[in-house]
Amino acid sequence: MDYKDLANVIFPNVKNISYYEEKYPVRNLKEGAVVTRYAPSPTGFMHIGGLYQAVIAKKIANQTGGVFFLRIEDTDQKREIENGVLDIVNSLKEFCMSPDEGMIDEENEIGDYGPYKQSLRKEIYQAYAKYLIEKGLAYPCFCKAETLEEMRQKQEAAKERTGYYGVWSRCRHIPINEAIEKIKNGEEYILRFKSLGNPEKKIKHHDVIKGNVDFPENDQDIVIIKSDGLPTYHFAHAVDDHLMGTTHVIRGDEWLSSVPLHLQLFQELGFKAPKYAHIAPIMKEEDGAKRKLSKRKDPEAAVSFYLEAGIPEEAVDEYLLNIANSNFEQWRKQNPDVDMKEFDLQLNKMSVSGALFDMVKLLDISKRIISKYSAKEVYDKAIAWAEIHDENLKKLLQRDTEYSLKVLGIERGNEKPRKDIAKWSDLEYNIVYLFDEEFFKEKQEYEFQKINDKDEIKKIVESYISKYFNINDDKETWFNKMKDLSEEFGYAREVKEYKQNPENYKGHVGDISTVIRICLTGRANTPDMYEIMKVLGKESVVKRLQEAIK
RNA sequence: GGCCCCGUGGUCAAGCGGUUAAGACAUCGCCCUUUCACGGCGGAGACAUGGGUUCGAUUCCCGUCGGGGUCACCA
């Protein structure tokens, strides 16, 4: 009895690995093209850290003329959630991070290296597992959970390393015929990798992000095939990334310490090892301590959080890119209108330790991006958001599209556009008062500032309506009239004038215009008043002013 | 606890033995033909710590402290 017999008893019907090696040939890509992947488990909502990985992986692949694919790692069927795959696929799509290959919905996929869902690749893993058994590098393990637990306690008591290795790996030493016997008797077992590593020796690993890291060799006989017949992460990683032609494994740095194992697996399977780039996680500060953004505790960990808040997807992508390579913002400053696809991302410039998530910075980026949109773009994007999240805003904007466009166009499209909207959920507050129906819905409560004498206010407004206001004035005329009005009531035409001789005036043009502004809009702070009047139109302006002094 | 990684202003970060230690966000002040926003200018604000090595260390080495990761039939 030899290893081949054992292999045949365990996997009597699987194909030879040469079948798969031929079926999935080496990719025909140009020199330097990088193949990356995003390989999540459908076990919960899409995490911002996952998006971060996807952004980086896609960017690196695209900018080298390579391939970015999506592989679903659903080998832990206990933890799987409903619509997990769909959520991942849709989230990627929303953030413009759709893969070149891989799953495109719960069932379907594109690309020649599939299936891209691990649960559908069972027989492939088994073929490679069989190959390892034949080589004497994998063996069945009959240890029960309790046995393992006992062993572990002994190890801890003896202050030894825990795990299944060396003298502790009892099933490794079961004679082949005995193992076959057990299997034939129906004993339950899993498959373990037979590690040839020696922890006294170091392996050198060069990580594309972390740099040189030395580890002891792995000597753990880790599980490669679980009792449900599916592979563990480690084994699936080696098989899949080999067959799918991944050149750069870009993943979270929680995997860094398994590199010795993975390298060993690639080695023993006869695969060329990929390059590894281990990304530091996005952190959050709590009670003075840093920790990974948590799915449970932090709403901002879910990508849906940003969608719901109405932060443009583009802004989130740019923010993430900014965390990845901090020189992005310099590039952005020099190339304000260039698509972020043009930015050259460099893995070796990535930080080795995790950055704290900075919502303020995200919002700043978001403001910049929204400020660049045309009124039409704002309209379309805001409606698309409101469609799902804000019925009121949708109605408001759609009532009179033409008018809405004028409102959204205020101080937009010029050289220094307004940057006061960071997310679509800000928009309603920002513009409601420009709609008469809403404005007159409730009696406005005016809080005047410097000038608050009712009579004085009434006179100022009346005078403005009767003597100065003309909707057709150009900006300069309009401006001068505001100064004339100021003068009429004993206020300085210029702020500077007033500051030089405050005793000569009751105030300055700013005080007067504030009165008009508040009567007109109900607010002390608004965008340019001239533009607002133009948008409101003659009737509305007069009506608003008259109502205000009633 | 073992193994591994990290430690520059509040945050993200340049920096690779000699620098007035960049820049961005945040913050403060001033300016910007009237508010707000934008923009401009300026201010405050940092090399965790103790030893080495060196003519000279933020940069190199060691210790300490602090932070993070990992030690599953989870990924």
Instruction: Read off the DSSP letter of residue A189.
Output: -
Q: How many angstroms separate the CA of A278 from the C1' of B64? A: 29
- Give yes or no for residue A425 having a pLDDT over 90: yes
The protein residue nearest B23 (Cα–C1') is A330
Q: How far is it, in rounded angstroms, from Cα A488 to Cα A509?
A: 11
Question: CB atoms < 10 A from the CB of A163, how many?
Answer: 17
Q: Which of A31-35, A456-460, A516-520 has the lowest mean pLDDT?
A: A456-460
Between CA A57 and C1' B57 the distance (Å) reads 38
Residue A360: burial class (beta carbons within 10 Å; 0-12, 13-18, 19+): exposed
Given a cut of 80, whether residue A452 has pLDDT beyond it is no
Determine the average pLDDT of the residues in A98-116: 94
Q: Closest nucleotide to A355's CA, by C1' atom?
A: B12
What is the pLDDT at residue A321? Answer: 94
* Closest nucleotide C1' to the C-alpha of A521: B35
For tokens 């339950």, the residue is A188
Segment A456-468 mean pLDDT = 89
Find the mean pLDDT for residues A358-377.
95
Task: Provide the token pair at A431.
Answer: 């513009």
Report whether pLDDT(A121) > 80.
yes
* Å: A280 CA to B22 C1': 24
The pLDDT score that the predictor gives to residue A226 is 96
Nucleotides of B under 7 A from a protein CB: 1-7, 10-14, 22-26, 32-39, 67-75
Q: Give me the pLDDT at residue A406, please.
A: 94
Give the model's pLDDT for residue A445. 67
Residue A489 has pLDDT above 80, yes or no: yes
Mean pLDDT value of segment A471-499? 89
* HSE value, Cβ hemisphere, 13 Å, CA-based, for A304: 12
Q: Which residue is nearest to nucleotide B39 (CA to C1')?
A: A416
pLDDT in tens, A144-197: 999 999 999 999 888 889 999 998 999 999 999 999 999 999 999 999 999 999
C-alpha R_g of chain A: 33
Smallest CA–C1' separation from A283: which nucleotide?
B68
Residue A308 predicted with pLDDT over 70? yes
pLDDT at residue number A365: 96
What gap in Å lies between CA A128 and CA A16, rounded to an integer?
8
The nucleotide whose C1' lies nearest the CA of A73 is: B75
Of all nucleotides, the one whose C1′ comes closest to residue A493's CA is: B34
Distance A228 CA to B7 C1' (A): 44
Tell me, in Å, how far CA of A282 is from C1' of B11? 13
A317 CA, B15 C1': separation in Å?
27
Q: If you measure CA to C1', which residue is closest to nucleotide B4?
A: A257
Identity of residue A394: K
Q: How many whole angstroms separate alpha carbon A288 and alpha carbon A273?
A: 40
Task: Assess contact for A424 and A313: CB atoms under 8 A.
Answer: no
Surface-to-core class of residue A6, CB atoms within 10 Å of its CB (0-12 exposed, 13-18 middle, 19+ buried): buried
Strand nucleotide closest to residue A227 (CA to C1'): B73
Closest C-alpha to A225, from A417, A72, A408, A14: A14
Domains annotated for chain A, with CATH where assigned, are 3-15+122-279 (3.40.50.620), 299-346+358-371 (no CATH), 373-438 (no CATH), 454-548 (1.10.10.350)
What's the pLDDT at A289? 76
What is the pLDDT at residue A443?
Answer: 67
Q: What's the CA A352/C1' B61 distance, rounded, in angstroms?
A: 22
* Measured CA A353 to C1' B51 distance, in angstroms: 27
Report the nucleotide nearest the CA of residue A144, measured to C1': B73
Q: Closest nt to A417 (CA→C1')?
A: B38
CA A288 to C1' B66, whole Å? 12
Per the prediction, chain A carries an average pLDDT of 93
Nucleotide B67 C1' to residue A141 CA (A): 39
pLDDT over threshold 80, residue A42: yes
**N- to C-terminal Cα separation, chain A:** 104
CA–C1' gap, A339 and B21, in angstroms:
33
How many angstroms separate the CA of A391 from the C1' of B58? 55
At A79 the pLDDT is 93
Q: What pLDDT sits at residue A111?
A: 95
Task: Give the dihedral sign, CA A80/A84/A88/A91.
Answer: negative
Stated in angstroms, how far is A165 CA from B4 C1'?
20
Query: CB A274: neighbour CB atoms within 10 A?
Result: 23
Q: Residue A440: its pLDDT value, please?
A: 87
The pLDDT confidence band at residue A114, using thresholds 50, 70 and 90, is: confident
Strand nucleotide closest to residue A142 (CA to C1'): B73
Quote the tokens at residue A279.
Answer: 């990304």
Q: How long is the CA A467 to C1' B5 vector, in angstroms?
A: 74
For A22-77, the DSSP string reads HHSPPP---TT--EEEE---SSSSPBHHHHHHHHHHHHHHHHTT-EEEE-B----T
A46: number of Cβ within 10 Å: 23
DSSP states of A192-213: EE-----TTSEEEEEETTTEEE
**Of all nucleotides in the shown strands, which has a C1' nearest the CA of A290?**
B67
Distance between alpha carbon A459 and the CA centroid of its chain, in Å? 56
Binned at pLDDT 50, 70 and 90, residue A295 comes out as: confident
Rounded CA-CA distance A307/A388 in Å is 10
**Closest nucleotide (CA of A211 to C1')?**
B5
Asked if A373 and A313 touch (Cβ cutoff 8 Å), the reply is no
Give the confidence band of A455 by pLDDT, cuts at 50, 70, 90.
Answer: confident
Question: What percent of chain A stands above pLDDT 70?
Answer: 99
Q: Measured on CA atoms in the order A190, A191, A196, A201, is the torsion positive or negative?
A: negative
Instruction: Determine the nucleotide nearest to A223 by Cα–C1' distance.
Output: B73
> Does the pLDDT at position A265 exceed 90?
yes
pLDDT above 90: residue A248? yes
**Neighbouring residues of A13: CB distance < 8 A, sequence distance ≥ 6:** none
Q: How far apart are CA A468 and CA A477, in angstroms?
A: 10
Report the complex ipTM.
0.94
Side chain identity, residue A78: K
pLDDT at A58 over 90: yes
Strand pairing of A138-141 and A190-193?
antiparallel
Give the CA A326 to C1' B19 distance in Å.
21
pTM > 0.80: yes or no = yes
